[in-house]
Structure formats: C-alpha cells, structure tokens
Amino acid sequence: MNTTPYSEGSKDAPILFLAEAPAKWEMIKGRPLVGESGTIFDKSLYHSGLIRSEVQIANVLRNPTNSIDPYLSKGSLTDRGRDAVDDLKQRLRDCRARVVVPMGNLALKACTDEFAISKWRGSPTPSTIEGIPWAIPTYHPASTMIGRGPYINRHVIISDIKKAKRISEAERFEYPRRHLHIFPTFQEVVQYLRSIDGYPKPVAFDIEIYNFQVSCISFAHKPDYSISIPFVGDKWTEEEECIIWQLIAAVLENPKNTLVAHNAMFDVSFLYLQNQIRTRATIHDTMIMQRILAPDFPAALQFITSIYTDEPYYKDDKQIWKTPEKDEEKFYRYNAKDSAVTIECFPPLFEDIMKDKDFRWTYENTMSLFEPCLYMMARGVKLDLENLSKLKESVREQIKERESDLRDIVGSDLNYNSPKQCIEYFYGHKGIKPYINRKTSRPTVDDKALARIVRKYNLPEARLVQELRGLSKLYGTYLDLDYDKDGRLRCTYDIRGTTSGRLSSKKTIFETGMNMQNLDPRFKGFVVCD
C-alpha cells in the first residue's frame, strides 16, 4: 500500500486504523494522521505496545472535509457516504488485517452496522469490511485535543488499542460464552438459590423494576453462568413465588455470604423498602470501586464492561424497561447479562482497590456509610404537614400578587423564568447594556445580573423578577412535593455520588421526596424531630 494522505502501511499488518478524512496538513505531508492528532496517535500506539510501521492507516474519505454531515445523517449513510464507503472497500480489497479500529462516527459506520462511537467504543463488533472479521471502535485522537474534547479519553483510546492488539494476536477470537438462564423452572430456581446460599466466593446480583415492583432478579456466581428469575405475569403459583422470595431473602440476609452489585444502594434499598428484605450479606459495589479508582472516568456498567470484558455493547436493550412484556426474553437476558458482566469486572477492580492502602482505606470507609444511609432513607423525617400546607397557600398567593405587580409595570405578561424573554425585555426594550456570562460569553439575566440591574438602575421589575424566581423555586422545589403517605420526607442517598467523593442525594426510587442536602432555610422549620 503506497503512502498517500488517506492510506499508509503494509496490507499484511494485523491492525487497520480507520480515520475519517485527511486534514490540510496531511494533504501537504502526503501521509494520514500527522500533525497534533498524529502525535497523539503515535503516543497511543507506543503505550499500547505498537509502532506506526506495524499497522495500517486509512481514511474513509480521500479529501479534507469540514463536516461529515454530507456523508452521515441521523446515524445513516447518505448517498455521498455510501459512495465514499464503496470507494474505501475497493481500496481495502487486498487488506489482510484481522482487526479494524474505526476512529469516529463516520469510520464506525463505514466498517460496521452500528452508530454512536460513545456507545460502541471498546466493543468487539463484527466488521463489514470483507476479510476483516472484527472491529474495535475508539475515539479519534483529534477529539482529545485541547479545546476539542476530554483529554482523559486518550487513556480510553490506549485501552481500546490494547484490546485490538490482543484480539489481532489471538488464534481465534469469540465473544464470551455465557449461559444466561432465563425462564427457569421452579425446581431450577430453588436449586440454584440454595446452592449460592453459603457459596464461598462472591455472587453478583441485579434487579429490574417495572411499575415499582421487582420484575426480575438475576444472580451470577461466575461470568459464564447467570440466572434471571422473572416475576412478571403468572409464571409462578402464589405458593411458589412465596418460596422463591424466601430463598432470595435467605441469600441476601445471610451475613456469611458476599454479594456484588453495580450501584448496590439502588438494589438493596429497593428490596428493603418494597420487599422488606434486609440485606446483611457483605456487599461490594463495582460502581463505587470505579469511582474511587478512576473518578474522572464514567462509572456506568457500560463503561467498565468495555474496559474489563470482551462483552459487546448491549445497553440499548434497556429501552424495553418500560414495556418488558413486549420482549420478555430480551428483557430477562439483559438482566442476566448485567450480573454476569458485574461478576467478571469485580476481580480486577477489587484487586486494584486492595493492593493500594489509600484506595482500600477510602473504599472501606465509603462502604461503611452504606448502613447509615440506608437507615436514613428508610426512616426519613417527619413533617409538620398542617403548617406546611398553610405556607404553601401563602406562597401561592404571594406569587399571584407579585405576578400582577410585574404585569402592571411591564404592561404585558413576562415569563420571569424565561431567560430569552427577560433578555429581550431588559437588554432590548429597556436598553440596558447586557451582562455577559464568563463561561458562555453570552448575555445573561441570572441572579447576579439582576442584582446588578437593581443596584444600578433601581428597576422595580428587576426586583420583582428576582423575588418571583425565589418564590417559584421555594414553591416548586420544596412545597409542591410528593411526600410519602406516612407524612415523612425521604430521599435516595448515593454514598459516592460526585467526582469529589462526597455524599449526594435525590428523589426516592418511588419519585417522592427531594435532595435532602440543600433544604431552603424556610422549609427546615417544618421538619419535626421524632
């Protein structure tokens, strides 16, 4: 293969790196992937155990382009895109690579049937280029340049290249073989649950929710076997379902057992609040481990699956959560697969946690918050609902009065929560010099800007907009809430919910309550001590 702005390297090289289009600098140099993005690419190869002379490089397009929109629209190739891909495949007809690494969305679409590089990167995917069996998508190096995208994605690119190298060197690559046992019989469920109660090694579990009930629960004691136990429809008799739940409770409540989950707080709290199962087994959480080991990277199961396993991307299957009855088999396979990949990801994550004393100390102290937070979530706080209702009515009347005052001054309705309308009124109609947001470099009418307008111009409508926004937030966030039927306020805690590692809170899994860490001072007076 001769070196051109859109191709370089030997046809016999085991890995083909496929970019999207040559840049102007590459046209000048007559080589693909040079300049700043080429430097990033070369360094990524080096850290992956490769050098440029050992690989092939190609671009989907022969000439520079400012946008891929003429070639790829809404996830599908346009006519121009199909012509470009046909030309690419003709150029690659003698290529003998074993793995292609598409870098970017156009490259991904050109050599697979998939779209969205953010989903498919790191996922072994069948290649549509004749003679090349596998594709390992990754980000384009240029997307990590300063000012264009996350710098840390360079580490993700290296991880993906290492996977491509490993697969290219394998005598034969296959997807992980997993026996996902769905639609088990009653006897199979009973036998399995009894076998993992007292199992000497960690067991992964995962629940799926439908209509605020457990629709299925899966367990996996090893990566190649997982069972999903369904509860949608009339799968079991009342007696059988009772026995199954008693056996599930025995597994979760046995302090001698060790369980693993991804975002364990969700599963454990739901089973406690809705099914009255108090998990006393030792709990490990792969999401918490990921947040401690690599706080700048995603902690979703999708991401750690792409790093620690060869499981292809499957998270689009979660779209059937709202209507599992339309494809029960797919729904239960999704549930079973979550447990299987969780138990596969657990050992390397746990090893990295345990071999560093600081990571281990942080993890152990984070997990020590599990029980106290679960107690606070279950207990909640009592509210003075009678006086809270009076304040709610009072605030509603204040909002009506202030809205009437604002309408009289402005001469028409002004949506005080609409930045666009407020910008048009204060900077357009009133002719005030716009205040600019430093981050967006655009005009803003946020609280700081309104405060300055009030101080400098003493406009009563600006003061009213400020007041109305405050009252509106008080009413919508703190007063017009769905409280639990027992008159208590609850939330869901995430014991490592931020990149900084602090606790965070939000609405409950039943869509009641709110963030309990940022209560309005006026609201705190209605929280009653037990």
The answer for residues whose C-beta is within 8 angstroms of residue 449's C-beta and 6 or more apart is 435
Backbone torsions φ then ψ of 56, nearest 5 degrees: -100, 150
* Closest-CA residue to 7 (of 59, 81, 84): 59
CA distance 224 to 347: 14
Number of other CB atoms surrounding residue 189 within 10 Å: 23
CA distance 240 to 220: 22
- Predicted local confidence at residue 510, as pLDDT: 87
* Closest-CA residue to 208 (of 306, 370, 333, 376): 333
CB 204 within 8 A of CB 260: yes
Which residues, listed in sequence order, are joined to residue 506 by a DSSP beta bridge? 492
DSSP string, 228-266: EEE-SSSSS-HHHHHHHHHHHHHHHH-TT-EEEETTHHH
Q: Which residues of 255-293 are buried (b: 16+ CB within 10 A; e: fewer)?
A: eebebbbbbbbbbbbbbbbebebebebebbbbbbbbbbb
Residue 458: exposed, middle, or buried by beta-carbon count in 10 A (0-12, 13-18, 19+)?
exposed
- Predicted local confidence at residue 129, as pLDDT: 95
Number of other CB atoms surrounding residue 371 within 10 Å: 13
Strands (E), 394-521: 488-489, 492-494, 504-506
- Predicted local confidence at residue 2, as pLDDT: 64
CB 98 within 8 A of CB 55: no
Which residues, listed in sequence order, are joined to residue 4 by a DSSP beta bridge? 7
Q: Mean pLDDT in each 10-residue stretch from start to end of the chain (530 residues)?
A: 80 95 89 91 96 94 91 93 95 94 96 94 96 96 88 96 96 94 97 97 95 93 97 91 97 98 96 94 97 94 97 78 75 95 98 97 96 94 90 93 94 93 94 90 92 92 94 87 89 89 90 87 84
Residue 168: exposed, middle, or buried by beta-carbon count in 10 A (0-12, 13-18, 19+)?
buried
- Predicted local confidence at residue 17, as pLDDT: 97
Backbone torsions φ then ψ of 16, nearest 5 degrees: -110, 120
At 411, list the tokens. 């001469």
pTM: 0.87
CB 59 within 8 A of CB 20: yes
At 19, list the tokens. 């970019």
- Predicted local confidence at residue 476, as pLDDT: 86
- Predicted local confidence at residue 497, as pLDDT: 86
Which residues, listed in sequence order, are joined to residue 158 by a DSSP beta bridge? none
Which residues, listed in sequence order, are joined to residue 102 by a DSSP beta bridge? 18
At position 228, the amino acid (one-letter code) is: S
The answer for residues whose C-beta is within 8 angstroms of residue 325's C-beta and 6 or more apart is 232, 233
- 161 Ramachandran zone, left/alpha/beta (phi>0; psi -120 to 50): alpha
* Closest-CA residue to 480 (of 514, 442, 445): 514
Residues making up the chain, counted from first to last: 530
